[in-house]
Amino acid sequence: MELKHTAQEWLAVAQAQLAGGSPAAAQAILTRALAEHPGARELRRARAGLLQQLGHTSESESLLRDLLDSDPGDVAVAFTLARMLQERGRMAAAASILLTCFAQTSNRADANLAIDAIELLDDCDRKSDAASIAAAALEANPRDSRLHAYAGMLQIQLGAFDRARQHYLFALEHDPRALEWHIPIGLASAQRYEDRAHPDFALFRNGLIHPDLSEPARAELHFALGKAYDDIGDYAKATQNFRTGNAIRKLDSAWSRKAWRRTVEARLAARSVARPLQPSPDFTPLFIVGMPRSGTTLLAGQLSCYPGVRNRGELPWIAKLSQQSELAAESDHAALTRAATFYAAQARRDDAGDARWFLDKQPLNFRYVDLILAMFPHAKIVYCVREPRDTALSLWMQCFLEAVQGYSYDFADIALVMRDCERLMARWHVRYQGSIRTVRYEDLVTSPQETVAVLAEWIGIPNDADSRSAPVATTTGTAISTASLWQARQPVNTRSVLRWKNYVPFVPELLNLPNVSQSF
């Protein structure tokens, strides 16, 4: 009689085969194991994971859903399926899985599990769903400072600034580590200060004397104080804090001027893709590019009020796809097709409805306009420009958390990136003149309706004033994840036009910036 093995023994053998590079053998072993132990959840989970690895995603999804039907609170299965759906651009489906899983009392009572779910949903750009899980977890763990910090981060992106502040202050009051969780920057970015009597001034100053403060947290406190002083018009003190914060961040930055130059020269030398793909009639991507802080978030919010337009924020995929070596081969049409299919799935997602235009406002996509138009020849590229000194000052005043923005801590680096942005856009304009339109920040804030209406007509969006909604950026509940999350929700104004003049006595570097033409 054949000796039977336990489910765990079968699983160990299958894992050993997989580790040895034999997925087919692992699959055969799991098939035998399930014949012997058909109800073993760990074996069924392993088979689903293996099917996913082998590219059989539909079958894998079916197996995982069967497991969840019998136990909706199975955290391991729920996270596996949610991540699989995320990779396929099915963000709403991923959120539904996790919301159902965390409807179970035992799951939302586990703060660590809840944070894992919040981070996954945040990556899926499902901020409201993440906030729902945070709220449920806080009901079970009302004094968990980490959950309060996450809840604050989500509420600030959703425009609920008062609620965000309550969560942030709780975390700061109850956990000394909270200064390390980007809370000071969150507090400062969620309002406009009226006078120095506001308690945040003392909060930030007292934070700077905390004995265990890390250098990154120290920099963020200086940026927060700089922003607060800027709001009340004390430009001298604002400059002092911005200088200190930038100096700390620059020391810790991995951004390389040499690497940037090498990348830009390679992009300028790249030849056009000989055979672009055919356009898709029901998917038209819109790309807003240019220097960060040039009005990209404001413009995206204005465009997204048109029916049929979905604003997907700053997607990371164009830069990531550009790193695929096979895309460098101009004749590799199959690789280009795979890249375009993947990007379209990530932009369209599973909540598109009848939308046709999908907006990606990652400003630094100005580096890859040729790749964009090879994948999507019918795409529209909107190039945002702004008075160079205003742009440079605004960059220098931001505490960016992304490594790619490491140039913003030094005016010489900012000037280099601004020049290269102009060089690249001039090159793309020569090649793709009909696909690129320039929008000036100053026009956008002076005449927003007229500027956006002209742009919408060029894009091909029907200009039906009766069907337009309020700009998405002004509504609470719609997420904004960029440094402009507060400003973009205020009425359009010209307050920041020629703002650089306030800082010339304290930041003379502004006068040394090159005169970037920003025109074609």
Greater model confidence, 213 or 480: 213
Give the span between the Cα atoms of 369 and 348, in whole angstroms.
20
Do 325 and 373 contact (CB within 8 A), yes or no?
Answer: no
The structure tokens listed for 257 are 């001027």
Q: Which residue has the tokens 């799951």?
A: 107
Rounded average pLDDT over 176-190: 95
Better-scored residue on pLDDT, 105 or 84 = 84
DSSP single-letter state for residue 329: S
Q: Using CA of residue 264, residue 518, residue 489, residue 410, what is the dihedral sign?
A: positive
The four Cα atoms 234, 235, 239, 240 give a dihedral, to 10 degrees, of -30
Report which of 151, 177, 181 is spatially closest to residue 166, judged by C-alpha positions: 151
Give, in degrees to the nearest 5, the angle at Cα 456 between 491 and 444: 35
From CA 259, how far away is CA 88, in angstroms rounded?
A: 32
Q: What is the pTM of this model?
A: 0.89
Residue 482 has a pLDDT of 58
Task: State the Cα–Cα distance between residues 261 and 256, nearest whole angstrom.
Answer: 9
The 10s digit of each residue's pLDDT in 225-248 is 999 999 999 999 999 999 999 999
Strand order in the sheet with 380-385: 309-311, 357-360, 284-290, 380-385, 436-440
Segment 331-364, tens digit of pLDDT: 578 889 999 999 999 999 999 988 999 999 999 9
**pLDDT score for 516:** 59
Report whether 295 contacts 496 (CB < 8 A).
Answer: no
Residue 319 predicted with pLDDT over 50: yes
Assign 125 a pLDDT band (cuts: 50, 70, 90).
very high
* CB 297, CB 488: distance < 8 Å: yes
Name the band, by pLDDT with cuts 50, 70 and 90, for residue 464: low
Q: What is the pLDDT of residue 1?
A: 36
State the pLDDT at residue 18.
82
Rounded to whole angstroms, the Cα distance separating 484 from 294 reads 11
Range with the largest mean pLDDT of 271-280, 296-305, 327-336: 296-305
Q: Which of 18-27, 359-368, 370-379, 433-442 has the lowest mean pLDDT?
A: 18-27
pLDDT at residue 9, as a whole number: 85
Could you tell me the domains of the chain?
258-512 (3.40.50.300)
Q: How confident is the model at residue 25 (pLDDT cuts 50, 70, 90)?
A: confident
> How high is the mean pLDDT of the chain?
90
* Best CA proximity match to 451, nearest among 437, 469, 472, 433: 437
Sole residue written with tokens 């320039």: 438
Tens digits of residue pLDDT in 140-156: 999 999 999 999 999 99
